[in-house]
Amino acid sequence: MSTFKDKIDLTRLPRHIAIIMDGNGRWAKERGYDRIFGHQNGVTSVREVTEAAAETGIQYLTLYAFSTENWARPQQEVNALMELLVDTIENETPTLNKNNVRLKAIGDLSRLPEGAGIKLQRCIAETSKNNGLTLVLALSYSSRWEINNAIKLLCNDVKSSKISINDISDETISNYLTTREIPDPDLMIRTSGEIRISNFLLWQIAYTELYFTNTHWPDFRKENFYEAIVDYQSRERRFGK
């Protein structure tokens, strides 16, 4: 039986795939549980998709794990999410090393609880020498925060004469973003049927192909991931030309 994985052209893979992992709460509500139950089950999807990306040969995978807006959620849910984050990072570090996956993080990481921040940085350090897939966690991240922060840094450097205002270009601005060492996404996936970007990588997705699926994140598996890649490969990218 043919699968979507069999249909993938390995010579035309997207270099970078970004995912808005949506639907954990709805998935849990449909089953009569609270939202955190959905987040807990979403960890399995993170593991599956990371494995699929590594096995396929994707170079960068960015997961929108926690937005700056998510801090406004009920404190109980935020605390549970942070605890889940810390436990997952700690538990998955050996697997990341086994699969040659390097972990990075983008966002306003200073807002993370001290314990979560320490364990995150420890995992980043312990996987830093891996040269396979780079897994990027967007934590306490929003694109408007990132652009606002970049403007402040850029203005400060102009003020101190480190850079001339006449030398500012698209490339200059990109170098002040938290993603400066990461290529722009070729493909962005959003699960759970919502058709919007939700303040995610707005500068970086100028020419990114978008893929929306009705599947809730806890049900998203390797074959769903492969299907998105096959759909991407069916498109002609023009980059505005």
Q: Which helix (H) or strand (E) holds 41?
A: helix 35-56
Active-site option among 22, 24, 41, 99:
22
Using the CB atoms, write b or e for 1-21: b if 16+ within 10 Å. eeebbeebeeeebbebbbbbb
C-alpha distances out from residue 29 to 171, 196, 198, 215, Å: 44, 22, 21, 15
What letter does residue 186 receive in the DSSP assignment? S
**CA–CA separation, 164 vs 161, rounded Å?**
6
231 labelled catalytic: no
Neighbours of 29 (CB within 10 A): 13
Exposure of 168 by Cβ count < 10 A (0-12 exposed, 13-18 middle, 19+ buried)? middle
108 labelled catalytic: no
Active-site option among 6, 24, 41, 70:
70
- Give the SS3 label for residue 174: helix
Q: Known catalytic residues?
A: 22, 70
